[in-house]
Chain A
Amino acid sequence: MTTDSNKRGSKGDILLEMRNIEIDGFSDERWHDIVKGVDLTLRRGEVMGLIGESGAGKSTLGKAAMGYAQPGCRIKSGTIMFDGMDLMAATENEKRKLWGSRIAYVAQSAAASFNPAHRLVDQTVEATVDHGISDEAAAKKDAVDLYTALQLPDPENIGTRYPHQVSGGQLQRIMTAMAMSPRPDLIIFDEPTTALDVTTQVEVLVAMRDIVEQFNTAAIYITHDLAVVAQMADFIKVLRYGDEVEEAETRLMLSEPKEDYTKTLWSVRSLEKPEDKSDDIALSINNVDAAYGKSVKVLHDVTINIPRGRTVSVVGESGSGKSTTARVITGLLPPMTGNIVFNGEELPAALADRTKDQLRRIQMIYQMADTAMNPKQTVGEIIGRPLEFYHDMRGKQRDDRILELLEMIELDSSFIDRLPSELSGGQKQRICIARALAAEPEIIICDEVTSALDQIVQEGILKLLLRLQKEYGITYLFITHDIAVVTAISDEIVVMFQGKVVEQGLKSEILNPPFPEYTQLLLSSVPEMDPDWLTNLVDQRP
């Protein structure tokens, strides 16, 4: 695959040229390749999308564009020319002059990147002033213009606040303003919207796209979400295992991807389960109010019915009470009022009052498989414990059952004595599923189980869950903010907003008009694989 830059609508002269970049990472007592000889050319004013799954080397390559290798990595070979300057040969000092003035970096987690002790505007202009690009007063005045351009509320005064006083989406935009403040030639966006809700993501995307266009800044946009990058980039480069898979103009890439791997990235969103109606209610939550502590009420009169053998998806942005609902069902957070009826019987509100059998019937799978498994226990111990605990299986009987369970989740006996750190992300989540299955539950609560996973792995997990439902008639309560996952797996959907249920109904009813206002906003905010989607959306919205 060669990069033919001439074919692209050339916006300006070449700003960044990377040739045959090889980057090594040191882990586990040895060096191994992270990036294996990738070329990259970027012209002034161009936006390049870098996509790939985690471990594809996209972030590492993005940072290498600044001539920077993070601790534990080294740029082994290749050339990096930034505007006529050889970054491979540049000293740390020379590079430091470049960073924060001509090249800027926007990180994934804005919340972790701001110093909580300083006002936002001081942090916005810090690099600009330090590099002597302009004096403080001028830079601060310019920051207000940038805040305005990024459509932040009250641009005159928002800078005087501290990081914790603004929302996540606002913080991400302020970080973009910070990157923009010295008017850099190149900005590297490293998954800037991954941690945001879809509704917030739209605002941030619009703001970023406009400001990059306005100042004719070149940008590298790193993400694993193809639909997002389709809105932002002029052309897209797909990476896998540190190698370039293909590069093409955005529209071309979306309409006719050449490589098989690229095609699979598209296909995940096409998984769809036919919905199935059922009136046999397995579990219902009736008029539940719940609060953390005595003051903060997070659930207001929540009523949800979960039919047996079906999947009910709970969607909503963060803070809408999705996870709290799960905590109420599991008994971790006893409700203030209302009750939970399971198989026609009222469940005791608190965990401690439930019988072992009641606990067995409701299992839970977590978002972060990493923290959901004890790092000191082997796969066999993790899956084996529920067998011992609920079914009193010992010795050979237990071991046989562990093997059966591993088979059910499409893994083999070689995994039995592995530790969680020796598994990939998808494998970890599969083990968590096996642990839940071991209890032989009736209901499994899945709390954002796929959101930490790559597209292809996500697809595998969803298929597995669907198959298990078909074979064992398990009921799922699926908590997610990803509408693609919702379409893929659910029969019924519950939309939540600010601790209240907006609506509940069959998938076809919820996803088709007429919509209540919030559902409309939520659904329209989900990025589509259409490069014009964002433009159209902005035109439609008032």
Chain B
Amino acid sequence: MSEDGQNYSAAGEVAQVKLRRGRGERTWIALKKAPVSAWFGMIVIALYAFTAIFGPMLAPYGEAEIFAKADEPWAMLGGNPDHLFGTDQIGRDVFTRLIYGARNTIGIALITTLLSFLIGGALGLVAAINRSWLDQLLSRAVDVLMSIPSLIFALMLLSIFGSSIPSLILIIAVLDSTRVFRLTRSVAANVVVMDYVEAARLRGEGMAWVMRKEILPNIMPPLVAEFGLRFSFVFLTIASLSFLGLGIQPPTADWGSMVRDGSRFIQFVAYDWTLALPSLLPAGAVALLTVAVNFVVDWFLHKTSGLRDDH
């Protein structure tokens, strides 16, 4: 045997091994390499989050506080300097409502997205592991739900159940979870066939353990990226439902309904362009957040999907 010459030790064995780094260190390296667009997105998201959390402290007036003069233009366009962005059709401060709108629109979208991931993710994992009649049942049910245009379906359900905030959240979450289900099922299907999942099953582990400990951590990156994307969509869906009058109900401030309120001036924009501003402002807020989230998601997807550029 070859004990001579070589002092073989298993612990000292070297190969192409990854350097050991803590989580913090890895995150820092990733952030340092992030492109400008991702940084822009992260800063914008941070600002929105700050506004949503500290809204009531930042806002100069109350959410539904009504002032004497309605439809006052912006301060810089010759309006009342007490109201930075002017007031709306019934005399509420637009700036205040924009800030409160951040909290309502983003908050509801966030809860809805979380809920849809909880439903879609859990069922998707079950379907991927089970691969039998249960998978068939769930997948076909999802196909049925997806075959109906989701906005029209949501409108229908909302008019059946009434448009309260809980029913709004639940309906959109269920409709959106179908997309999450499909993604989770297909990504998890690649992990389920790994030897370590088989090893866990041979050990006698239950379904919950296999889902939570063996599969979920390994499909997190695509799910997180999808979360960002889904959040944008949910956010837009809520805004459009509010625009159509079936979303968040007054007097709760929300960007979608603000766009609708301002939209009645659209036909006069040809004579005075400043009339477009009351709807453009909340619409711009929606657009900016969507773009920012997508920038971050793009970067994240690129980083985790193996698309990385190998120098």
Contacts and interface: CB of A to CB of B under 8 A. Distances in A.
A425 B15 contact: yes
A128 to B, nearest CB: 30
Interface in A336-374: 351, 354, 356, 359-360, 363-364, 366, 368, 371-374
A411 B196 contact: no
Contact of B199 (A260, A261, A364, A426): A364
A376 interface: yes
A71 B2 contact: no
Interface in B1-25: 1-2, 4-6, 8-11, 13-20
B1 A412 contact: no
Interface in A383-432: 385-386, 389-390, 409-412, 414-415, 418, 421-427, 430
A412 B10 CA distance: 10
A442 interface: no
B270 interface: no
A410 B204 contact: no
Contacts of A263: 2, 5
B203 A386 contact: yes
B202 interface: yes
B311 A371 contact: no
A457 interface: yes
B205 interface: yes
Contacts of A368: 195
A385 B310 contact: no
Contact of A424 (B15, B214, B217, B218): B15
B131 interface: no
A390 B19 CA distance: 33
Contacts of B214: 374
Contacts of A330: 202
A542 interface: no
B24 to A, nearest CB: 15
A15 to B, nearest CB: 31
Highest count of chain B CB atoms <10 Å: which of A268, A424, A425, A460 = A424
Interface string A48-64: 00000011000000000
A418 B196 contact: no
B202 A366 contact: no
Interface string B206-221: 0000000110011000
Given A371-B196, A375-B218, A386-B203, A410 B9 contact: yes
A422 B18 contact: yes
Given A71-B311, A386-B203, A426 B13 contact: yes
A359 B202 contact: yes
Interface string A454-487: 0011011000100000000000000000000000
Contacts of B204: 354, 356, 359-360, 389
A26 interface: yes
Contacts of B13: 424, 426-427, 457
Given A55-B15, A376-B217, A411-B11, A418 B20 contact: yes
A264 interface: yes
B201 interface: yes
B6 A264 contact: yes
A182 B65 CA distance: 84
Contact of B8 (A423, A439, A460): A460
B66 interface: no
Contact of B311 (A72, A351, A354, A386): A72
Interface string A263-295: 110011011000000000000000000000000
A26 B2 contact: no
A28 interface: yes
B261 interface: no
B34 to A, nearest CB: 14
A439 B205 CA distance: 13
A540 interface: no
A423 B17 contact: yes
Given A354-B204, A430-B10, 11 more contacts: A28-B18, A332-B202, A360-B204, A366-B195, A374-B218, A376-B218, A377-B213, A389-B205, A410-B11, A460-B8, A460-B10
10 contacts: A55-B15, A71-B310, A360-B204, A373-B196, A374-B213, A389-B204, A390-B203, A412-B11, A422-B17, A464-B10
A-B residue pairs, 8 tightest by C-beta = A260-B5, A424-B15, A376-B217, A372-B195, A267-B2, A71-B310, A264-B2, A410-B10
Interface of A: 26-29, 54-55, 71-72, 260-261, 263-264, 267-268, 270-271, 330-332, 351, 354, 356, 359-360, 363-364, 366, 368, 371-377, 385-386, 389-390, 409-412, 414-415, 418, 421-427, 430, 435, 439, 456-457, 459-460, 464
